[in-house]
Amino acid sequence: MSQASIRVRLTLWYGTALALILILFAGTIYFVMSRGLRDQVDASLEEAASAAIRTLGEHRFGPFLIFEDLSQNFPELALLDKFFQIFGPAGQVTIQSANIKSREIPLSQTAFQASLKGQSTFESVRFDEGVPFRLLSVPIRHTERLVSILRVGTSLYPTERMLKRLLLALVIASPLAIIISLLGGWFLAGRALMPVNVITCAAQRIADGDLTQRITSPRSTDEIGRLASVFNDMIARLEVSFRQIRQFSADASHELRTPLTITKGETELALRRPREAEDYRQVLESNLEEIDRMSRIVDELLFLSRADLGEIKMTMTPISLDSLVREVQLQATILGQDRQIETVLGAVEPIVVDGDELRLRELLLNLVDNAIKYSHPTSQVELSLRQVEAQAELKVCDHGIGVSSLEQQRIFDRFYRTDTARAHASKGTGLGLAICQWIVDVHQGAIHMQSSPDTGSCFTVLLPLRAPVS
Ligand SMILES: Nc1ncnc2c1ncn2[C@@H]1O[C@H](COP(=O)(O)OP(=O)(O)OP(=O)(O)O)[C@@H](O)[C@H]1O
Ligand SMILES: [Mg+2]
Give the count of domains, the chain. 3
Ligand 1: which atom is nearest the Cα of residue 417?
29
Domain boundary residue among 253, 276, 308? 308
The answer to whether residue 197 is domain-embedded is no
CATH number of the domain bearing residue 396: 3.30.565.10
Cα 247 to Cα 90, 204, 242, 243: the distances in Å are: 115, 25, 8, 6
374 and 454 in a common domain:
yes
Ligand 1: which atom is nearest the Cα of residue 300?
25
Q: Give me the amino acid identity at 43.
A: A
300 and 321 in a common domain:
no
Q: Are residues 163 and 37 in contact, defined by beta-carbon separation less than 8 angstroms?
A: yes
428-442 confidence digits (pLDDT tens): 889 999 999 999 999
Residue 397's pLDDT is 97
The answer to whether residue 350 is domain-embedded is yes
**Angstrom distance (rounded) from CA 204 to CA 23:** 44
269 and 345 in a common domain:
no
Q: Are residues 438 and 387 in contact, defined by beta-carbon separation less than 8 angstroms?
A: no
Q: Would you say residue 8 has pLDDT above 50?
A: yes
71 and 132 in a common domain:
yes
CATH number of the domain bearing residue 284: 1.10.287.130
Characterise 231 by phi-psi region: left (phi > 0), alpha (psi -120 to 50), beta (else): alpha
Residues whose CB is under 5 A from ligand 2 (ion)? 370, 432
CATH number of the domain bearing residue 151: 3.30.450.20
Q: Which residues does 212 contact at the CB level (< 8 Å), separation at least 6?
A: 239
Q: Are residues 217 and 193 in contact, defined by beta-carbon separation less than 8 angstroms?
A: no
The percentage of residues in the chain with a pLDDT greater than 70, rounded to a whole number, is: 93
The percentage of residues in the chain with a pLDDT greater than 90, rounded to a whole number, is: 51
Q: Give me the amino acid identity at 258.
A: T
Residue 244: alpha-carbon gap to chain centroid:
30
Q: Would you say residue 388 has pLDDT above 80?
A: yes
- Ligand 1 mean position, distance from CA 375 (Å): 11
317-359 confidence digits (pLDDT tens): 999 999 999 999 999 999 999 999 999 999 999 999 999 999 9
Of the listed ranges 10-14, 28-32, 55-59, 336-340, the one predicted with least confidence: 55-59
- Number of CB atoms found within 10 A of residue 85's CB: 22
Residue 64's pLDDT is 47
Domain boundary residue among 131, 161, 191? 161
Of the listed ranges 190-199, 361-370, 450-459, the one predicted with least confidence: 190-199
Q: Which residues does 408 contact at the CB level (< 8 Å), separation at least 6?
A: 449, 451
Outline where 59-156 has alpha helix (H).
Answer: 67-73, 109-116
336 and 302 in a common domain:
no
169-194 confidence digits (pLDDT tens): 999 999 999 999 899 989 988 888 88
Q: Would you say residue 59 has pLDDT above 70?
A: no
Minimal-distance CA residue to ligand 1 atom 29: 417
**Angstrom distance (rounded) from CA 98 to CA 426:** 130
The answer to whether residue 278 is domain-embedded is yes
Domain boundary residue among 308, 329, 359? 308
Residue 96: alpha-carbon gap to chain centroid:
78
**CB within 6 Å of ligand 1 — which residues?**
366, 370-371, 374, 398, 400-403, 411, 416-418, 421, 428-434, 457
Q: What residues make up the domain containing 96?
A: 6-161
